[in-house]
Amino acid sequence: VHILIISSWRSGSSFLGSIFNNHPEVFYTFEPGHPIWMKLLYERAELLYYPVRDLIHSLFKCDVSPLYSYLPRGGKQLSEFSFFAESRALCMHPTCLSSNTSASYNRLHCLHACRGKPLITIEETFRDPRAVSSSRKHVNLKIDDEIVCRDPLGNGKQNNKKPNITEVMGKICKSQVAMHKVGRDAKYFSPENYMLVRHEDLALDPLPNVNKLYSFSGLGMTPEIKHWVYNVTHKDSSSEPGGFRSYSRQSIKVTQNWKRKLKFKIIKEIQEVCREAMELFGK
């Protein structure tokens, strides 16, 4: 089964991905489309859909060759992508033939693992946009925000105006609503091939929701994963580096942090531009 996780920045997709990444039967790659955004910095988001679509299509056929076009700084190995180490499968033998980070990707192993499994299932994760707004303040998403807010009818050139959080969240919420409607449309996907996951549900009641995710994906729970899920949702990582991929937190606290950190004016603005998404997915 091929699984595609659709989300936005700071919406819990790293945690959701790690749930699959830690399963021994899953070959997981972290944000394969992000290198395209970083390579084509001055394009509009609407135009980046197409190379991202083509790349994902190739990856689902176990063809990683298109990734070489987006290697950073003229790199030659897939291990040079900044998020390479986030994939358990890519870092283990026989994919990684040694512990050397410059080891190339073992395409034959991927081909063997994926052959004969054409079914695609899609999981979309949604997080309270107020919480997303609060979380985004702690990471540098300047380039991504400029791409998201670039005029879809423009020529791709940058302007001097810095996108504000309300503008960014308005476009993100609109896109999430559109993706959800497509996912629910029987013309495109049967009901058993699409699942909506709310980050708040996953954070507040993790184990039952992880079981649902695995059941939807045809995977079984293991004692090791149960132990990992408990630890990762109860550990306070406030004393640890809080980089882009940090998700070891006390989950209940994380879901409510935005109430303390966001100004009331910003909360009201986000609730207005994300009204449809919040009504559709639940507040």
Q: pLDDT tens across 127-181, in order? A: 666 776 666 666 666 666 666 666 655 555 555 567 788 888 888 888 889 888 8
Can you read off the two tokens belonging to residue 72? Answer: 């950073």
- Sign of the CA dihedral 47, 52, 58, 61? negative
**pLDDT at 195 > cutoff 60:** yes
Model pLDDT, residue 243: 40
Q: What is the chain's length?
A: 283
- What is the fold, at CATH topology level, of the domain defined by 2-281? Rossmann fold (3.40.50)
Rounded to a whole number of angstroms, the distance between the first and last alpha carbons of the chain is: 32
Can you read off the two tokens belonging to residue 145? Answer: 């925000």
**pLDDT at 220 > cutoff 90:** yes
Burial 101-116 (b: 16+ CB within 10 A, else e): eebebbeebbeeebee
Distance (Å, whole) CA 143 – CA 147:
6
Model pLDDT, residue 142: 65
Burial zone of 159 (CB within 10 Å; 0-12 exposed, 13-18 middle, 19+ buried): exposed
What does the domain layout of the chain look like in residue ranges?
Answer: 2-281
Q: Which positions ≥6 away from 207 have C-beta within 8 Å?
A: 226, 229, 230
Average pLDDT of every residue of the chain: 74
Model confidence at 231, in pLDDT bands (50, 70, 90)?
confident
CA angle 239–257–7, rounded 5-degree value? 95
Can you read off the two tokens belonging to residue 256? Answer: 């409510």
Q: Which amino acid is at 198?
A: R
Distance (Å, whole) CA 248 – CA 229:
10
**Residue of 28 and 91 predicted with greater confidence:** 28
Helix (H) or strand (E) run with residue 197 in it: strand 194-198
